[in-house]
Amino acid sequence: MRFSRRTFLASSLAAGAVAAAESPESQWFLAKGKPVHIGLVDCGADADYVALIAAIPRTKIVGLVNMHGTVAQEYMMLLSEWGRPGPKVYDNLVRMLQDSSLDVVFLAGKRLLGPSILKRVTEAGFPVLADWPPEVTHSEQQIVLDVLRLAETPVHFRTDQLAEGAGIKEIRNWLVRSGAARIQVTLVSPIGVGREHLHTAGTLSLSAVLGVCGQPATALQSWLGSTLRPINSGGGRKLAKISVPDNPYGIEHLYLRPYGGHSKLARLLLEHRGGSLEIPISDVANPQDSLRTTIRFLSRVTSQLPVDNSDSLHLQLASIRMQSVQTN
């Protein structure tokens, strides 16, 4: 039997929703009665993005800011296929943010996402779920870092679904168990990998290192000015190392090393004399992980937990650092 891409997507998301709902956090969110009203800002996402939201019970897209082309029509068509009502379409972000029924804002895609959009939504008092930290110019760096540091609402970048099998907590637990005085951390990436894939893998790897360093935001912003030092490895291949902030695990650099093997996935490798931890990194999230991440975010928002945007700040700092690596 042959399946269309959309039929396959629907079945994958349906299965993913069941799996994602197994966690206690997800069960709590799904058991609540009041639907969560979402404002969707199209920042260059594929129209299938709305299927992710439609697959989650207790969600309703009530507003859509259409920032390019005919994507609004595709969104409406897909929502209709899922049996969901179409949202009100706006051509202006400010107008949508005036909707008193809004609970959260999703920034879909990253091609058109800039710090001004993030700033405007957080200043309006809405929690934000975005796909990726915005790429910024040098003059925009402080703006976006201040947004993440000062925001009184949760801001989450939907990237933790990309690192397979380990998060900051798992990495920190491994570091503590190792008892090693010095850890070497290397991002191993396939030779010839595209810029976007390398930026994704590098950002995730570096943000994980920043997460375990335990440094305050002010110290991390000072670290951002540290220098990149290219060095040559054996065989003439170029190896780069990025210095990292002081930390209790003896991690001095994140090494970036090209690899000529058959694997198409980048890998984050943590090593010491007594052992190692290897974390595959994909640049494509599967439906189950995407749903789990989104439900977890909505659960935290609706339960009104204290705001902690440190993970998002680490990702933004790492993204900025990788931008400088790739332009040097």
Of 85, 38, 47, the closest CA to residue 66 belongs to 47
Q: What is the dihedral of CA 63, 68, 74, 75, to 10 degrees?
A: -20
Report the alpha-carbon distance of residue 312 to residue 80 in Å, rounded.
33
The dihedral of CA 171, 306, 220, 121: what is its sign? positive
Structure tokens at 80: 């209709």
Give me 127's structure tokens. 């929690």
Cβ atoms 47, 319 nearer than 8 A: no
The angle that helices 5-20 and 71-81 make with each other, rounded to 10 degrees, is 60
As its CATH architecture, domain 5-161+286-306 has 3-Layer(aba) Sandwich (3.40)
Say what the pTM is: 0.85
Q: How far is CA 255 from CA 59, 157, 216, in A?
A: 42, 24, 23
Taking only the tens place, the pLDDT of each residue in 177-214 is 888 889 999 998 887 667 777 888 889 999 999 999 98
- Beta strand pairing status for 88-90 and 228-232? unpaired
DSSP state letter for 39: E
Q: Which residues of the chain have pLDDT under 70?
A: 1-33, 47, 67-70, 160-167, 192-193, 226-239, 260-263, 283, 285-286, 326-328
Q: What is the pLDDT of residue 113?
A: 80
- pLDDT score, position 73: 79
pLDDT for 127: 96
Q: How far is the C-alpha of 93 from the C-alpha of 155, rounded, in Å? A: 17
* Sequence spans of domains, the chain: 5-161+286-306, 168-281
Distance CA 128, CA 104 (A): 6
Q: How far is CA 15 from CA 28, 55, 69, 282, in A?
A: 19, 10, 31, 20
Can you give the pLDDT at residue 197? 79
* Candidates 2.40.160, 3.30.70, 3.30.360, 3.30.460; CATH matching 168-281: 3.30.360
Q: How far is Cα 219 from Cα 212, in angstroms, rounded to an integer?
A: 14
The pLDDT of residue 122 is 95
For 280, phi then psi, to 5°, come to -65, 145
What is the spatial order of strands in the sheet that 275-281 belongs to? 228-232, 238-243, 253-259, 184-190, 266-272, 275-281
Please write the tens of the pLDDT for every residue from 217-269.
888 988 887 655 554 444 445 568 899 999 999 999 999 888 766 667 888 99
